[in-house]
A and B are shown apart, each in its own frame.
Chain A
Amino acid sequence: MKKSLKEGQILPEFIADSIAKHQHKTNIGAHQIFLGQVRADLIDEKEVVAIEYTAHEEMAEQIIHEIREETFEKFDLTCMHIYHSLGRVEKGQICLFVFVSSGHRRAANEAIVHLVEAIKERVPIFGKEILEDGSHVWKQNTSLS
Chain B
Amino acid sequence: MDHKINIVYFGQIAEGTGKQSEMIEAKELHNKSVREFLNQQYPGIDQYAFTIAVDNKISEICDPENTREIAVLPPFAGG
Say which residue of B8, B73, B74, B78 sits within 8 Å of A138 (CB atoms): B74
**Does more than half of chain B's interface fall in helix, strand or loop, or is it mixed?**
loop
In the complex, the answer to whether B56 meets A58 with C-beta atoms within 8 Å is yes
A59-B53, A138-B74 known; 10 new pairs, CB 8 Å cut-off, are A36-B79, A56-B53, A84-B79, A120-B79, A121-B76, A124-B10, A124-B53, A124-B76, A138-B75, A141-B78
Interface string of A58-98 (1 = CB under 8 A from B): 11101000000000000000000000100000000001100
A-B contact pairs, 23 of them (CB 8 A): A53-B78, A54-B11, A55-B10, A55-B78, A56-B53, A56-B71, A56-B73, A59-B56, A62-B56, A84-B78, A96-B78, A96-B79, A120-B78, A122-B76, A123-B78, A124-B76, A126-B10, A126-B76, A138-B11, A138-B74, A138-B75, A140-B77, A141-B75
In the complex, the answer to whether B79 meets A140 with C-beta atoms within 8 Å is no
A74 → B minimal CB distance (Å):
20
Interface string of A104-145 (1 = CB under 8 A from B): 000000000000100111111111100000000011110000
**Does more than half of chain A's interface fall in helix, strand or loop, or is it mixed?**
mixed
B39 within 8 A of A: no
With a cutoff of 8 Å between Cβ atoms, the chain B residues found around residue A62 in the complex are 56
A126 → B minimal CB distance (Å):
4
In Å, the complex CA distance between A129 and B2 comes to 41
B residues apposed to A, CB below 8 Å: 8, 10-12, 53, 56, 71, 73-79
In Å, the complex CA distance between A138 and B12 comes to 7
B18 → A minimal CB distance (Å):
16
In the complex, the answer to whether B79 meets A141 with C-beta atoms within 8 Å is yes
In Å, the complex CA distance between A140 and B74 comes to 9
Most buried by B among A36, A53, A59, A120: A59
B49 → A minimal CB distance (Å):
8
Most buried by A among B8, B56, B78, B79: B78
Residue of chain B at shortest CB distance from A125: B78
Residue of chain A at shortest CB distance from B78: A125
Residue of chain B at shortest CB distance from A142: B75
Known: A59-B71, A138-B12, A138-B74. A95 touches B56 (CB 8 A): no
